[in-house]
Chain A
Amino acid sequence: MVETIGIWIAAILTLGIFSFLYKDNPFYKFCESLFVGVSAGYWFATTFWQVMMPKLVDNLAAGRWIYIIGGIFGILMLLRLFPKIGWISRWSLALVVGTTAGLYFTRYLVSNGMVQTENTIMPIFVTGNLPQTIGNLVIVVGTFCGLVYFFFSKEHKGTFGGFAKVGIWFIMVSFGASFGYTVMSRMSLLLGRLDYLFGTWLGLIK
């Protein structure tokens, strides 16, 4: 019984969101607002039980008082809600920003910069292996020309412009692949919902 009611509620909310496709309407607005509220509530409760309790409350209860610093910084963060003293929240924000900036600085340089460069360096001619030769060539040339395209200190003219042109082709192929994959993703999501409506709710699909 409870389960059936649940399925009906879920199905009606699904239809409510779909109604946006016909036009924007109050029923859709209701569903969207409900989602915003429910997801914020979900985050709030989850953060309480799975972060605040084990990381702050339990540590303090166990006598590790140093964690009070985290609590203080956290409460400073909440002061943002009050415009007059909101500036203090920048102290906590500084901690967050500093941590990510410090980590990103080396890590992105290594993983997405240097390691990528290292792995693009490969023999262009692999004797006796034509597909490999072509593959390597494509990767080296593609990466090279793509980077030339994103080089802003020189106008795209002459040979340099030619490289940039080839670069943009590679970039377009990447975007094309991205496009195709995104379409694939969106369609999958629709299938999931339709399966719910026709299968779980109406029971038309086994």
Chain B
Amino acid sequence: MRKITISLLTIFLLTLFVNISFSQEEPLPPSEVKASDTPNDNGHSITVTWKLSPDDGAGKKNVVAYEILRSDNPEGEFEIRGVAPAGESRFDDKGAKEKTDKNYLPGHKNFYYKVRAKADKTFAESEVSNPAFAYGQWYHTGKTTVLIGVILFSAFALYFINLARKGKKLFVRPLAGIEAVDEAIGRATEMGKPILYIIGLGSADMIATIASFTILSRVAKKTAEYQTPILIPCYDSVVMAVAQETVRAAYLEAGRPDSYKEENIFFVTSMQFAYVAGVNGIMLRERPATNFYLGKFYAESLILAETGSVAGSIQISGTDEIAQIPFFIAATDYTLIGEELYAASAYLGKEPVLLGTLKAQDWGKALVIISLILGALAASFNFQFFLNLFRVQL
């Protein structure tokens, strides 16, 4: 009932706003009304199409809208199911799937349709359509492109993970931020000052935090070799525990378990700005030669980077929090931008799963790059067929 009220209201308004010649003449009816199941749905909708009335936009130009009517009997009473504005030639009669719903449209039951061309005060009705029933589909045909994408990506990932597990070396290009690590630690040793490593505000299960642990392991190994102290103030107690474990293992690997100092990896507080205040205090007291900010960072990024910059430390940063990267780029010496942080950890960690999926992502990007080149050419020379391959129809 409500739907009908709205339909009527719409028609009323359309008649008000659309600039038409207010003739009382009946328009010619729409023709070739066809009904069929709406594709790619759960089976409670029928699509109606028709050929526009000759008076729609041409002829007498008095058609303002189409009303779509439905009945389960070609001779029976038809009820209005919806309205389409003039110029439209398709309507999806969407029903509800629950039997209790007033708008219920049962599947596998025949329905007939009529379309009315509405003029100002009169209308003209089409012939009754063919019978059609709604049914659910087992596969959404519009999503084939997506399915291909899903399969390709999964195949890439599994293939490369397998390759990495077999011990094949997968190449990851060197990153400036990681190349600079050795130099930065060397400088700290020369100056006899500590290194400050901040894992960020993320919890231990975030990808950025995990990536940071991998890089920490590498950094800690170097500091063990050079005998330079490394300070790690933490925001989260679980992160602290993992960091301690990581550093201890790295010192052991470097053959210096005796110089590992657990008290250098400590919990500060888990309140954002109180944490910042704590870390700033450490920077100003200890004057570390190098600061690492790798992990998940939020608004505190620029406060940390600023203090470090003023204290004259070399700073290496990296996060996947897009809004914070600009501040890191402007205020630190090296920045791992978003994905580079993951790449760095895959590169340093040599974990087959991470390396394999990183490779899959690379191949995904390669596919996009190739599509862009071919697509741009096809679009410039108007190869419609080729363009349709890239179209995602949902």
Chain A interface (Cβ within 8 Å of chain B)? 20, 24, 29, 32-33, 36, 105-106, 109-110, 113-115, 117-118, 120-125, 140, 143-144, 147-148, 150-156, 171-172, 175-176, 178-179, 182
Contacts and interface: CB of A to CB of B under 8 A. Distances in A.
A143 B372 contact: yes
A156 B172 CA distance: 11
A150 B379 contact: no
Contacts of B277: 20, 24
Given A29-B274, A113-B149, A123-B380, A175 B171 contact: no
A120 B146 contact: no
Tell which of B145, B153, B277, B382 has the most Cβ of chain A within 10 Å: B277
Interface in B229-247: none
B327 A114 contact: no
B145 A114 contact: yes
B146 A182 contact: no
- Give the dominant DSSP class at A's interface: helix
B373 interface: yes
Interface of B: 145-146, 149-150, 153, 170-174, 271, 273-274, 277, 322-323, 325-327, 329-330, 337-340, 343, 358-359, 362, 364-366, 368-369, 371-373, 375-376, 378-380, 382, 387, 390-392, 394
Contact of B371 (A105, A115, A117): A117
A125 B380 contact: yes
Nearest to A185: B323
B174 A155 contact: yes
B168 to A, nearest CB: 13
A110 B393 CA distance: 10
A174 to B, nearest CB: 9
B368 A147 contact: yes
A114 B146 contact: yes
Q: Which of B326, B366, B380, B390 has the most CB of A within 10 A?
A: B326
30 contacts: A32-B273, A106-B146, A106-B150, A109-B149, A110-B149, A110-B392, A118-B391, A118-B392, A120-B372, A121-B371, A121-B376, A121-B387, A122-B376, A124-B376, A124-B380, A125-B380, A140-B376, A143-B372, A147-B368, A147-B369, A150-B338, A150-B339, A150-B365, A152-B173, A153-B170, A155-B174, A175-B325, A175-B329, A178-B325, A179-B330
A105 B274 CA distance: 37
Determine the main DSSP class of B at the interface with A: helix
B390 A121 contact: yes
A115 B373 CA distance: 16
Contact of A147 (B273, B274, B365, B394): B365
A110 to B, nearest CB: 6
A178 B321 CA distance: 12
A97 to B, nearest CB: 9
Contact of B153 (A109, A120, A182): A109
A8 to B, nearest CB: 24
Nearest to A156: B173
Nearest to A182: B323
A152 B172 contact: yes
Contacts of B368: 113, 117, 147
Contacts of A150: 338-340, 365
Contacts of B391: 118
